[in-house]
Structure 1
Amino acid sequence: MKNSIGVWLDHATAKLIEIRSDKALITTIQSPYKKHIRIPGLSINKERSGPDFYYNLEYKLHNRKIHDLSSYYKDLINRLKGFDEIVLFGPTKAKTELYNLLIQNKHFNLKTISIESKDKMSEKQMTTFIKNIFRILLREKLYK
């Protein structure tokens, strides 16, 4: 069997599920991106004012989000380089964003990468799902 891994991810966490001899090895990775952050000087009752403040604030928040997600995806890409079959699944568009980065990377040209949409799952459900997916992929390859 090839080196296979399943990755459940959203923008906050990723769970890498590797099946080794019918046992699951689960690694959790936390994203540095935080959706709700506090900006010093802003509160419910008072706001900073000025003609360019809101534009600069939005620009700063957007850049922080892009930077945090970029470092998160780079970490995931480095961890996935050693695998031949990768299944990305989860509830958000993070799996599609990571997929697009993977297909642009030359290290993943000859690897099998698939995407599945799934809601929030327990670790046991994730493990069962990944085992079933890899059994199906293995069966399809045997009958080709």
Structure 2
Amino acid sequence: MKTQKNLGIWLDHSTANMIDLNSKKLSHSIASKFTFNIKEEALNRSESLMHNKRQQMLEAYYKKISDKILKYDRVLLFGPTNAKTELHNYLKEDLHFKDIKIDIEATDKMTENQQNAFVKLHFEGKSK
């Protein structure tokens, strides 16, 4: 039986920490380009422009994350905001992800060590 490739992703709408416990480097981050300054600039022009800009940038952010997920068998999405659910919905629309088992957990803000421990505990419990 081949070894399962597991990935934990702690995310909110600005940052995603990718945690692969089998990798030498424990985590890798992806940042959203939708910053406070971009939000303010778009909002000064119009509210609908700000919402459109936010949607476009979030979709690009989720695309970057999804490109990394393709290499894994099981993925845990966790974090304090609804970004994990939005990403899950984004992935469900793409057939490339149909064979990847995706779990979602709500958590508070966590340190990097807490995130690593949470992912390890989650996947240890799933392998039994």
Work out whether the TM-score is over 0.5: yes
* Structure-2 residue corresponding to 1:98: 87
Unaligned runs of 5+ in 1: 43-55, 140-144
Aligned counterparts of 1:130 and 1:88: Cα–Cα separation in 2 = 10
Aligned counterparts of 1:118 and 1:127: Cα–Cα separation in 2 = 13
- State the superposition RMSD in angstroms: 1.8
Q: For 2:14, which of 12, 22, 25 is the aligned residue?
A: 12
Q: How does 1:20-35 map to 2 (within 5 A)?
A: 20=22, 25-35=26-36
Amino acid at match of 1:84: D
As a proportion of its length, which structure holds more helix? 2
Q: How does 1:39-78 map to 2 (within 5 A)?
A: 39=41, 57-78=46-67
Deviation at 1:24, TM superposition (A): 5.8
Q: What percent of counterpart residues are identical?
A: 37
Equivalent pair of 1:24/1:127 in contact (CA under 8 Å): no
Amino acid at match of 2:51: H
Aligned counterparts of 1:31 and 1:58: Cα–Cα separation in 2 = 20
Amino acid at match of 2:12: D
Equivalent pair of 1:89/1:95 in contact (CA under 8 Å): yes
Q: SS where residue 96 of structure 1 aligns?
A: helix
Q: SS where residue 58 of structure 2 aligns?
A: helix
Amino acid at match of 2:33: P
Alignment CA distance shift 1:33-1:2 (3 Å): same
Higher mean alpha-carbon deviation, 128-137 vs 30-39, is at 30-39
Aligned counterparts of 1:38 and 1:58: Cα–Cα separation in 2 = 10
Aligned counterparts of 2:64 and 2:100: Cα–Cα separation in 1 = 18
Task: For residues 71-109 of structure 1, give each alpha carbon's deviation from its aligned partner in whole angstroms, at most 9, with x where no partner exists.
Answer: 000111111101000000000000000001111211111
* Structure-2 residue corresponding to 1:130: 119
Unaligned runs of 5+ in 2: none
Number of aligned pairs?
124
Deviation at 1:38, TM superposition (A): 3.7
TM-score (norm 2): 0.90
Aligned counterparts of 2:101 and 2:27: Cα–Cα separation in 1 = 20
TM-score (norm 1): 0.80
Equivalent pair of 1:12/1:30 in contact (CA under 8 Å): yes
